[in-house]
Structure 1
Amino acid sequence: MTAKYPSTRRRIPATSLTLSLILAFAAQPAAAEDAGADTAPTSAHAGTAPQVEGGSYGGDIVVTARRRAETAQDVPIAISVVAGDQIDNTGSFNVGRLQQLAPTLQFYSSNPRNSAVNIRGIGAPFGLTNDGIEQGVGIYVDDVYYARVASATFDFLDVAQIEVLRGPQGTLYGKNTTAGAINITTNQPTFDFEGKAELSIGNLNFKQAKAAVSGPLSDNLAARVAISATSRRGTLYNVTTDRWIQSQDNIGLRGQLLWRPTDNLDITLTGDWNKQDAVCCGSVFVAVGETQRPLNRQYAALAAAQGYVVPSTNPYDRLTDLDANLNAGNQIGGVALRVKWDVGPGTLTSVTAWRYWDWQPENDRDFTGLPVVTKSQNPSQQNQYTQELRYNHSGSRFDFVVGGFAFYQRIDTQGTEQHGPASSRWTLNPTSALSNDPSVLDGLTAINTQYLKNTSLALFGQLSWKISDSFTIQPGVRLNYDKKDGYYQRLVYAGDGSAVTAELTDAVSVARLGVFRPQEYSPSFSDWNFSYDLTATFKAAPDILLYATYAKTFKSGGINQNGVPSGADGNPLLAAATIKPESVQHYEAGAKAEFWDRRGTFNLSIFRTDIKDYQANVNNGQFGVLRGYLANAGKVRTQGVEADFSIRPSERFRAYANGAYTDAKYVRFIDAPCPPELSGGSNSPPNCDISGQRLPGVSKWAFSFGAEVNAPAKLLAQDGEVYFGYDGSYRSNYSSNASPSAYTWIDGYSLSNFRAGFRTEDGLDIYAWVRNAFDKKYLEQLFVGPGNTGLITGLPGDPRTWGGTIKARF
């Protein structure tokens, strides 16, 4: 019997040209030995997406984008490849789960909009999302750039492979990204009929169904349709509303048409629609920490004054009592047209796309069961248009790619923040007679209106010069223009509907203005940037590649879209409305090796990234005065070592281990927001020097590891194999606050996932799985409650889950 995974070698025809394959233009030629027919030129067109069955388990990943065999081991960049099957087997059905397979990837999310994806500790500032800046980690699906990180919370849909590229990407990518990129390739239409279906059920009422079908409509027209749906009961129980929250309720649909009028031209039209409608998002009580507020204004006294007691002080009881409406309605979709045309010695590729994003949230911003903040919602709508045009050429001595990229985005947001009858006693100084009058703040409402217009244009290119058979240099350049125009307005109304304006001076109005202050401004930013990189590659032996890279790049400047601090005159400080670009210098060296007749791989990279004018998130301690704004820190540095190891001694066993040491810290940040233990008092410092302290969300040590063993077997008269697999991960402690606080360090933890099943060559796969098998109790995030009261809440990670999956291909 032949094993299901006889080889992990796969071929990608030349003009498949996913963004990751363009990287191959910069690589040193692969050794031709053992390549066989793969070294011959192939058709420029792909009927199917790359099929990778090795992923983290290793094995050759052969690309032919330069019309010769070339593996991922020959690409001079730190890259992790995760196959579609491995994604399914490990339950990594979105980017948040993917971080368990890629140690240098960090994902944090308090709700879909307030999500951040970082690589090596950098990418997006930790805290509330601000639409006025760019992401440092690009997310691409079939060459299309996804500007909003909310897309990372959706289920992967009909994915062939995912590549996590570490380090700056700009001279070969449409959108410049300083930390890396997540490149997702979906399965493409085929001219042979094929299909697949998958059904999973588990505890917590988990249900997931996936299906895809592909085939010809005519001799030169093929189609593919895929659908995915996931639902699961929440993991936190709300005693106030008598329902589970943090649920999953996702559905996605993708359709593709491939028209091949000639052998050298492919035109693919893609449309997708994805929707989430979860009961989300909340948190649970974790602890109380002392602040510098007067004791009668700290959490214990404020709660006692209103007879408030949390349902549990143990976060792993998973009980909450949030009393405001919770909602995380999230919808994304779009249309893309990709044209690939073999022209002379190269390939011309055009990618035109429109995407939209519709966000409908409701939150409980006081983090308690008291009606302090009774409404907190900032619904937002985005329209995004992108156009990328590039031409690549591969020759005997010189390869190059040149391209242009245009991006336009419009985001409109309408916010409502409203206080309730418990706010006066909670928010105002208890020594004031107004604190005993609920009507002072009951119904106080801020109406926020904002929009962003974001334009980015770029020219980029990279040359690969093969100086000798073993030595290649590749310079790359990028010229970028960015322009952002925004508008922010906050109007304030009392509970009776009357306007609260800055000119009012009576005591009640002054108290209300201390919570919400009207503000209006129109920030604008524009700038040109020139960036470049240089990589040298040396083929020390047929199976050993050495490389070194220097990159001088940038992250575009931005504008503050959530309000800015007010000056002594009460007017917004316009100097804080714009954010300077980050200036990035990146150094990296690495080695990629295959050994034991290519049964094993070992990759090592060392890196250092220095960022001047790092874009940091600054949070304000009051309820509604300011949700949070961006400021430039002086300097940030991340440096470390990464290693990837995989081994496959036979078709019956394979294993992998990936590790990363990351030292990411503020080199200089002298005017940072103070942590809660140093905030709230009349003599508390207005800001703190956190130079030398660790960046939030970054574990110094992170590992992923796993193995799978199989043996021939027969089940129900079907020949196949039984298998047992394990995937584990570990990360050391990390800070969950923008300024490290004694109250917000999350302890390190390890997770273990197991699976066991039976599969056949024909595509039948039946297996049982358990995730977080040892029911590890851990926290994903900690949140500092508003108002410097000392309240700390958190989001526990998923408990042990188990279930079964059946998959079939035909």
Structure 2
Amino acid sequence: MQRRPRPQFQPPAASAIVAGIALLCAAAARAQVQPEAPASAPAGQAEAPLEQAAPALDAVVVRSRNRIEKLQDVPLSISVVTGNELSRLDAYDIGSITRRLGNVSWNQGNQRTSSLSIRGIGKIGQTEAQDPSVGTIVDGVNFAYNALTSSFDFTDIEAVEVTRGPQGTLLGKNTSMGVVNITTRRPSFTPSADYSLAFRDRDGFTGTLAAGGPVIDDLLAWRGTFSVSKQRGDVVNSYNRDVTYTNTDRVSGRVQFLLTPTPDFNARIAVDLQPRAGEATNGRTINTPTPSTYSNGTPNTSVTNEVRLARRWFTQNTGFTVGDYLYGGADGRSVNNDGARPLVTGSRGAAAELNWKLADGHTLTSITAYKDYHFNAVNDEGTPFDVSRNSGGFWNDYKQFSQELRITSPLGGFVDYQGGLYFIRVHNKAEYQRVWGNDAGAWFASNAQYGRLDADAAGRLLMLNSLANLSMSFNSPAGVQDIRNDSLAGFGQANWHLSEPLTLTTGLRLTREDRRNSGRSAIRSQGNAPELNPVVVGNVSLGGFASDAVGALAAGNTAAQLSLADQVAQRYFGVAPTATPGEAYNSLSDAQRRQVADAKAIRAAQIGVLFNQTEAQPYQETQPAFVLSPSYKITPDLTAYASLQYGEKAGISQFVNGRSTPVKAEKTTSFEVGFKSALLDKSLILNADVFLTRIKDYQQSVRILDEYTTEQSGVLTYTSATGNVPKVQASGLEIDGVYAGIRNLTLRFSGAYNRAVYKKFPNAAQPVENGYAGASPYRDISGQPLAGAPKYTFNVGADYRYPVFDDKEFHTSANVAATSGFHSDNSLSSYSWIGKNVLVDWAVGLGRRNKGFDVSLVVTNLFDDDTPRGRTWNSYTPAIPRTVSVVLTGRL
């Protein structure tokens, strides 16, 4: 075949670039699939007979490389699911969506800590200063924070695709394991109005409306999407039965405008809003008895919650017993949380896009976007007692601004290419808030401390006041963090058409990362008893008086400190101060002074680490990414390809107990060999690949020396913090396919064998069952599987449609998602093993073939699989039970 000469490249006019930035517009890189059926006839007109032949499945297209390309021509491991398939099974949240895609999983935590993983990699303890391993792109806008996907319903979707392996030479922000690319339906000049109403059990309701059309014919079009979703959770808080876990409370809206003033120019403006609302996720925990022995048989003498609840302080409340605390109460699905609140989240966003088609056939694209996110968690220890009060969680305000400029060459020459610049600025202000209540002293006291303090009225008052109403910006990993991340990159990718069947794809990216973090941990309110403060914590003076472990005054107290000790003697024991500072305190009995020491020790232990405003060591580095991928079209319907991909995830600027403890960059190299085929007269699409992914300095929780505590105590102390695992590896086989060779039936399937292991990890934290005295602070788990990485996964989707009653259609759909077992906790505790599970969603319905009206019965988790979502040695997170919905859809 003769190729037409490639036009000579001419740089775009500067005025065009300036105009593009000024208009704040962006051309979204989006996935899309060709319509699954011909457009239906207008209401009232006769319809054509239902097409019985197998559809041309090789028409599926993707935008993983910022172009509309046939999936079968892209030398990458990609899975695609259409928006129509998602809506048929009422699948709107990210967890439901990923159950339809190959070798990608949603790791459920709360709205802030949930994460995506691909090929078993990505289930990590999310920190505020850390990039996700798997990126998410929505309408061309990259989300640099996992939480932006966790508490949202994705409605009015065109398609979702997952691209596996390091990304960065295209697709906005670089990621180390892959990208989930979500594309919504865009404005058009064809009027439309579609609605959906779903009525579920547990008072559930979801309503969506998507409408649009021309505002000015051939010049301005719009599309608006509105959704509301509410449902009670299946686990009830007995303390306040109107609070349930995991409930749904979401309202969101999106409006888009498309401007097309000339054939060579188009602009799209989009604004989205999800107002703040509360969903109870933290607290969905069923407690089980704490094991009485450690793994080596040593008795467990730690102060467990069961031990605490047996104390007189708590047994006075005869309305609550240990039996109510364990196993979810009498019904097995109840918790008692007096202080917990639903987690409040909300988000706003705006994006603008602009495409110019230049005279020489090139296209200039500008993408500009803003996105913010709010998160507020208030947690509880799981009892109706006043231990935690409006505390135990993060308050986050996250903002990101991004700008991309991209030039795209026309197709058809010896080489086609894209290149551009990408910038993203992230600002995340996070505070970990903690407040103690009136029962906190009795809860956190050791057995010995509790025994001495509960002996008389004075001791009980000391125990109560030790923590009551103390409020802190608590060290976790800092009380307050001010995170500022800037990322600037230049990228380019080219497809070299060396011959008619052979194409070589090359790409390169250079990213300059500048990441900074300042923080502090501080007391916000001294609460009931500032007189029980330590003298100093770290380098923060708290103004207390110095005394030893049994309460005797230490040498060197000032007159003011001795007077403070006398105030303690008077307040708790009725001993009036004298003219000599310290005399009243010294007149206390040994037992009384010991009670004061116990109360001070409880307070000091809970205060933990304090440090003044400090700037952590920044992370500043230029990072490369590249791709080298030949593909060869063996026949028109069979393409083989290989790829070498390399990418880096930025290091982290962070604190560990007030000390700057930077984390190195994560470096990923991925090899892949695969084929893409269209078989059986194109009724079967079968794609497969084998892969090998190697990661150096994988970012995850590791065990490190606690420099702060070691320095304070003089004893070597260790802690767990985000650090680097020396080597991680994943290897395996992936299969994706679609079959439409049976009349009226379409089958989609994917599966993976995946072996994700720690190749070298000598400094893992010990699991809780190894917490016996004398145990090494480290555990070598080299060769063990990664947490959250099942060895086998597969999913199968089926859609059957049959014409009935002239203009009606009977339809049924199903999706089966199965995984083998895996550990749910990063320390690979033997108690954290989650067995194999199978989730089946099913729908059956009847509707008009022109989509004017349809009614369906939709059942998620059809067989009520009760495999827990997570386990620890004394608790588990139960599965979401079966949900039944009646769904009405139609067109207005």
CA deviation after TM superposition for structure 1 residue 70, in Å: 4.6
1:642 Cα shift?
0.9
User: Does residue 301 of the first structure (1) align with residue 315 of the second (2)?
Assistant: no
**Inter-partner Cα distance in structure 1 for 2:704 and 2:877:** 21
Please tell me the residue identity of whatever aligns with 1:602. Answer: L
CA contact (8 A) 2:99 2:795 kept: yes
In 1: Cα distance, 2:482 partner to 2:63 partner: 44
SS, match of residue 830 in structure 2: coil
Structure number with the higher strand fraction is: 1
Residue in structure 2 matched with residue 554 of structure 1 by the alignment: 648
8 Å CA contact 1:283–1:793 kept in 2: the answer is no
| Most deviating of 721-730 and 284-293 | 284-293
Return the offset for 1:544: 0.8
SS in 2 for 1:295: coil
Closer, same or farther: CA 388–99 of 1 in aligned 2, 3 Å? same
Map residues 257-656 of structure 1 onto 2, 5 A cutoff: 257-275=257-275, 277-281=277-281, 282-287=283-288, 288-289=290-291, 290-291=293-294, 294-305=300-311, 306-307=314-315, 308-311=321-324, 313-314=326-327, 317-343=332-358, 344-364=360-380, 366-374=381-389, 375-393=391-409, 394-432=411-449, 436=454, 437-447=463-473, 448-492=479-523, 494-496=526-528, 498=530, 501-502=536-537, 505-506=546-547, 507=597, 508-515=599-606, 516-520=608-612, 521-523=614-616, 524-560=618-654, 563-565=655-657, 572-574=658-660, 576=661, 578-618=662-702, 629-656=721-748
Equivalent residue, structure 1, for 2:880? 798
Identity %: 26
User: 1:56–1:646: 8 Å Cα contact kept in structure 2?
Assistant: no
Bigger Rg over Cα: 2
Structure 2 matches for 1:242-257, cutoff 5 A? 242-243=241-242, 244-257=244-257
Q: Deviations over 1:546-568 (max 9, x none)?
A: 111111221111122xx414xxx
SS in 2 for 1:558: coil
The answer to whether the 8 A contact 2:26-2:267 is kept is: no
Matches within 5 A, 1:199-210: 199-210=197-208
Offset at 1:404? 0.7
SS at match of 2:310: helix
For residue 302 of structure 1, give the secondary structure of its aligned residue in structure 2. helix
Within a 5 Å distance, the mapping from 1:711-790 to structure 2 comes to 711-714=802-805, 719-763=807-851, 764-782=853-871, 784=872
What runs of 5+ residues in structure 2 fail to find an aligned partner? 1-24, 34-52, 316-320, 455-462, 474-478, 548-596, 710-717
Match of 2:149, SS? helix
Match of 2:190 among 179, 189, 192: 192
How many Å apart are 1:510 and its aligned residue? 4.3
**Contact residue 276 and residue 328 of structure 1 kept, 8 A:** no
- Number of equivalences: 741
Question: Quick one: structure 1 residues 224 and 463, their matched pair in 2 at CA, closer, same or farther if it must change by over 3 Å?
Answer: same
**Which residue in the other structure is 1:41 paired with?**
none
Pairs within 5 Å for 1:129-148 = 129-148=126-145
| Contact 1:55-1:81 within 8 A present in 2 as well | no
Q: CA deviation at 1:487?
A: 1.3
Contact 1:249 1:276 in 2 (8 A): no
Deviation at 1:509, TM superposition (A): 4.0
Q: Offset of 1:99 from its aligned partner?
A: 2.5
Partners of 2:353 and 2:302 lie apart in 1 by: 63
Q: Which residue is 2:592 aligned to?
A: none
* Structure 1 partner of 2:769: 677
- Contact 1:56-1:82 within 8 A present in 2 as well: no
Tell me how far apart the structure 2 counterparts of residues 490 and 255 of structure 1 sit (CA, whole Å): 41
Distance 1:325 1:573 in 2: 31
For residues 666-692 of structure 1, the C-alpha deviation after alignment (integer angstroms, 9 at most, x for no partner) is 11111121110112x442322222222
> C-alpha separation between the residues in 2 aligned to 1:283 and 1:65?
37
CA shift, 1:283, in A, is 2.1
1:71 counterpart letter in structure 2: K
Deviation at 1:237, TM superposition (A): 0.8
The two structures have a TM-score, normalised by structure 2, of 0.79
Secondary structure at the counterpart of residue 765 of structure 2? coil
Question: 1:184 and 1:86 mapped to 2: Cα distance?
Answer: 14
Please give the per-residue CA displacement for 1:97-148, whole angstroms capped at 9, x wherever unaligned: 12221241121233211111111122351x3x31111111111111111122
Partners of 1:439 and 1:597 in 2: how far apart? 79
Counterpart contact for 2:764–2:827, Cα < 8 Å: yes
Q: Any unmatched runs of 5+ in structure 1? A: 1-14, 25-53, 566-571, 785-789
Superposed displacement of residue 90, structure 1? 2.0
Residues 490 and 497 of structure 1: CA distance in aligned 2, closer, same or farther (over 3 Å): farther
What is the aligned counterpart of 2:759 among 664, 667, 685? 667
- For residue 46 of structure 1, what is the aligned residue in structure 2? none
Counterparts in 2 of 1:261 and 1:20: CA distance versus 1, 3 Å = closer
Residue 121 of structure 2: aligned partner: 122
Given that 1:57 and 1:647 are in contact with CA atoms closer than 8 Å, whether structure 2 keeps it comes out as: no
Deviation string 1:502-521 (CA, Å, 9 cap, x unpaired) is 16654444443322221243
- For residue 211 of structure 2, what is the aligned residue in structure 1? 213
1:692 to 783, 786, 791: 783
Amino acid across the alignment from 2:238? V
Give the CA deviation at 1:56: 13
Contact 2:258/2:266, CA 8 A, preserved across alignment: yes
Q: Distance in 1 between matches of 2:236 and 2:61?
A: 49
Aligned to 2:170: 172
Q: Please say if residues 457 and 480 of structure 1, whose CA atoms lie closer than 8 Å, have aligned partners that are also in contact.
A: yes
Change (3 A) 1:311 1:336: same
Counterparts in 2 of 1:296 and 1:261: CA distance versus 1, 3 Å: closer
How much has 1:66 moved relative to structure 2?
11
1:591-644, Cα deviation, whole Å (9 max, x unpaired): 11110110011111111111111110258999x999963111111111111111
The 3 A distance-change label for structure 1 pair 460 and 621 is: closer
Residue 102 (structure 1) aligns with: 101
Q: Provide, for residues 534-587 of structure 1, a one-character-per-residue CA deviation record: whole Å limited to 9, x for no partner.
A: 001011111111111111221111122xx414xxxxxx333x2x1110111111
Partner of 1:766, secondary structure, is: strand
- 3-state SS, counterpart of residue 378 of structure 1: strand
Measure how far apart 1:709 and its partner are: 2.2
Q: Write the distance in 1 (CA, Å) between the matches of 2:60 and 2:350.
A: 30
Mark the CA change 1:55 to 1:581 in structure 2 (over 3 Å): closer, same or farther.
Answer: farther
The 8 Å contact of residues 331 and 357 in structure 1, kept in 2 or not, is answered as yes
Q: Which stretch shifts more, 431-440 or 101-110?
A: 431-440
Question: CA distance change for structure 1 residues 641 and 368 in 2, over 3 Å: closer, same or farther?
Answer: farther
Contact 1:429 1:435 in 2 (8 A): no
Alignment correspondent of 1:161: 159
1:76, distance to aligned residue in structure 2 (A): 0.9
Q: Distance in 2 between matches of 1:494 and 1:733?
A: 47
